[in-house]
Chain A
Amino acid sequence: MFAYIVKRLISGAVVVVLISMGVFALFWFGPRNPALPLCNIDTSNRCRPAILQAYEHNMGFDDSVVHQYGLWAKGVVVGRSMALGTESHKCPAPCLGIDYRTKLPVWKELTTKFPATLSLALGASLMYLVLGVGVGVLAARRRGTWIDKSLVTGSLLLSSIPFYLVALLASLWFTISLGLFPSTGYHPITHNPAKWFAGLILPWLVLGIWGSTSYTRFSRGSMVESLGEDYIRTAKAKGLPARKVVFKHALRAAMVPVVTIFGLDFATLLAGTIFAERIFGIEGIGKWGLDAVTVKNLPVVSTTVLVASVAVVASNLLVDLIYSVLDPRVRLT
């Protein structure tokens, strides 16, 4: 098991390094001159060829890409000082570049944005899971009845409304019209846990309820299947109470496929939920990345891509570990 985790961590790291190379190459050979956005930002869109050339030279864009990637990678490990336009900035390890706009190390910004996204993701995914699986199990146990039908129809209807609409309406309704949840937004948990909670509860609810709909349908199907298994009949024939049959024997088996989509969804949440962050004013990765894309703030854009890839790699590993805990037939070697 331990050896397996080490092996997976190493292969995960390789994937992340390969992606960082890909991102770096895109940065370099992308459709735009990488120094141009910075030049535009610095000169308020009055970048002249002479300035651009100086920028390019200072930032090493006339150097070889391999050499520059080496410098970048070294910066991640030990830090470096980085030329940005005409000035030079200190970029301590792990250096992911300097924000074109704020001129701050991207890593430092990431450490303030990521907790917001992580908080949102943890709360929302917990909601997804508990609500979605709970309703799914209920529907499965009552399958064929009006309870089942209305739960399934309801979740289908809700999920057919685009998320941004749900989020916008919820924000308008609860925050603006009703004046509930006034402090929606992100407040670091380390400063004031109560405020952290109050600020996130509405986005959690909206993301959680909307997102739970797919879990409802998925876990209902999975649960109906596992309730029909022979071993469930065995469990009943032993004289176990229905509660144990459903929640211990059937749910355990039904969770295996649910864990797979949960892993994917959690990775997506960690990469930043653009709509939720924008609508609820949460300064997270999603909003940060979106803002960066609009002004071609390339160091930030490439960092958000890296974060997303780490999130996918990490949640895949987590899913596989959960599998092995759930199902003893899955041997991790």
Chain B
Amino acid sequence: MTTTASTTPAGTPEPSAEGLGAGEPLLAVEDLTVRFPTYDGLVQAVTGLSYRLEQGSTLGIVGESGSGKSVSSMAVLGLHDAKRTQMSGSIRLAGKEIVGMSESRLMRIRGKEAAMIFQDPLSALHPFFTVGKQLAEAYLVHNHVSRKVARKRAVEMLDRVGIPQAKNRVDDYPHQFSGGMRQRVMIAMALINDPRLLIADEPTTALDVTVQAQILDLLQELQRDFNSAIVIITHDLGVVAEMADDVLVMYAGRCVEYGPCKEILTHPEMPYTWGLLSSVPDISAAADARLIPIRGNPPSLLNPPTGCPFHPRCDHTDKVPGDLCATQLPELSAASTGGVHIKRCHLANPEEIYFTEILPEIAPDLAEELSGTTGAEEGGTSR
């Protein structure tokens, strides 16, 4: 994990973040709702999502496929077609409201203030243009320079992201690069205008493990150099553990748990997060760690479950009085550790359940080790 200052969602903004009002973070998403009218009905892709991100820090968004991770982040760049999308709430990026912003103003923000790296680096690059052209184009839209200067900048960026012989490779086409190299090209393209915010949508999913580690290292290194904020979207809690300062867990388009990375990983309080942790192979080095997939299927976004969206798949509904889980949507509330960690669940004593039931299942030795020290650990992490 990086040791950047002010990593909590409620932290104070960096003094260098110019153009921001006092106390305003680089990115503040407030009650964001994104819906797509389709022939089958209204797809409720994102509902009531809020989070904040400071300059220089990293937010990890996790959740299974279809939970609205990409949709919510694309909204930050205003990439949803206004005619086909119903959007409400607020997204303030560097003090400017993105929701409802005109296309011409959005154009000046995209790639300049905030840039995005997409999941599949082959399909995300245009197959018919050289990487140099695509990089230079990204630079040229936001800078009044000659093609030659833009090309030089492209070579520089390729070099920066670790493409060997960047000078010679700049005229190659995307298909002439390996998957990892293509992702480096994407990163170079995203960072070519020194954006303050970088959104990486599953940047390593298509890559093998060693390349994955290299790309993550590169992102961290570049973050230190450029002091950009990163939103990293992933299925992989390992990636989150390595990169993120804060974690936001999404389920069925909603935030279900949100807080500092360390707290979420060590004191998760929402059964869906427990499920995610249980299905990570390397959460603990223990040989007898068990992999437990979450039962059932992701919910329909056309017709989301009543009450807690996770209730059809939850193993703990019996611990909640009545049929509250099925009838009433839990509000986001402070976790028992207090502070800035919030969760969306009716359970009264989630900590106890986690340490007595869940942890021994997924990481028995870790549970043993922690059983004596839980109290001390808690005191240490509260801010």
Contacts and interface: CB of A to CB of B under 8 A. Distances in A.
A241 B107 contact: yes
B125 A239 contact: no
Contact of B123 (A231, A242, A327): A231
B162 interface: no
A327 B128 contact: yes
Given A230-B118, A231-B123, A328-B173, A239 B108 contact: yes
A236 B79 contact: yes
B128 A239 contact: no
Contact of B141 (A239, A249, A327, A329): A239
Contact of A239 (B120, B142, B173, B186): B142
B293 interface: no
A149 interface: no
A234 interface: yes
Interface in A245-272: 249, 252-253
A327 B111 CA distance: 26
B264 interface: no
Given A231-B125, A234-B126, A328-B127, A239 B111 contact: yes
A240 B107 contact: yes
B311 to A, nearest CB: 34
B173 A329 contact: yes
A237 interface: yes
B175 interface: yes
Nearest to B138: A238
B120 A230 contact: yes
A328 B74 CA distance: 30
A93 interface: no
B107 A231 contact: no
A234 B118 contact: yes
B137 A253 contact: no
A40 to B, nearest CB: 58
B46 interface: no
A185 to B, nearest CB: 43
A238 B189 contact: yes
Contacts of A240: 107, 137, 141
Contact of B110 (A237, A253, A328): A237
B79 A237 contact: yes
A229 B175 CA distance: 16
B129 to A, nearest CB: 8
Interface string A302-333: 00000000000000000000000011110000
B109 interface: yes
Given A230-B118, A230-B120, A326 B110 contact: no
B128 to A, nearest CB: 5
Nearest to A327: B128
Contacts of A236: 79, 110
Contacts of B128: 252-253, 326-328
A242 B173 CA distance: 23
Nearest to B103: A242
A233 interface: yes
Contact of A234 (B84, B109, B124): B124
Interface string A211-240: 000000000000000000111011111111
Contacts of A239: 107-112, 138, 141-142
B116 A237 contact: yes
B115 interface: yes
A290 to B, nearest CB: 43
Contacts of A229: 123
Nearest to A252: B128
A229 B123 CA distance: 7
A230, A234, A241, A242 pick with most chain B CB within 10 angstroms: A234
Interface in B87-122: 103, 107-112, 115-116, 118, 120
Contacts of A329: 127, 173, 175
Contacts of B109: 239
B124 A230 contact: yes
B247 interface: no
Contacts of B229: none
A329 B130 CA distance: 11
A234 B107 contact: no
Contacts of B77: 237
A238 B137 contact: yes
B316 to A, nearest CB: 39
A252 B79 CA distance: 21
Nearest to A235: B126
A252 B116 CA distance: 23
A326 B84 CA distance: 31
B123 A230 contact: yes
A95 to B, nearest CB: 46
A190 B79 CA distance: 54
Interface string B166-185: 00000001010000000000
B116 to A, nearest CB: 5
A240 B120 CA distance: 20
Interface string B234-269: 000000000000000000000000000000000000
Interface string B125-154: 111101000000110011000000000000
A252 B134 CA distance: 14
Given A237-B79, A240-B137, A242-B103, A231 B124 contact: yes
Contacts of A326: 128
B307 to A, nearest CB: 35
A238 B135 CA distance: 9
A144 to B, nearest CB: 8
A238 B103 CA distance: 13
A7 B194 CA distance: 49
A233 B124 contact: yes
A240 B103 CA distance: 11
Nearest to A144: B84
Nearest to B77: A237
15 contacts: A233-B79, A233-B124, A234-B116, A234-B124, A234-B189, A238-B137, A239-B109, A239-B110, A239-B111, A239-B112, A242-B103, A249-B126, A253-B128, A327-B127, A329-B127
Given A238-B111, A242-B103, A328-B128, 11 more contacts: A231-B124, A233-B74, A234-B124, A234-B125, A234-B186, A237-B77, A237-B115, A241-B107, A328-B127, A329-B127, A329-B173
Interface of A: 144, 229-231, 233-242, 249, 252-253, 326-329
User: 10 tightest A-B contacts by CB?
Assistant: A239-B111, A239-B110, A230-B123, A238-B111, A231-B126, A238-B138, A237-B116, A230-B124, A328-B173, A234-B124
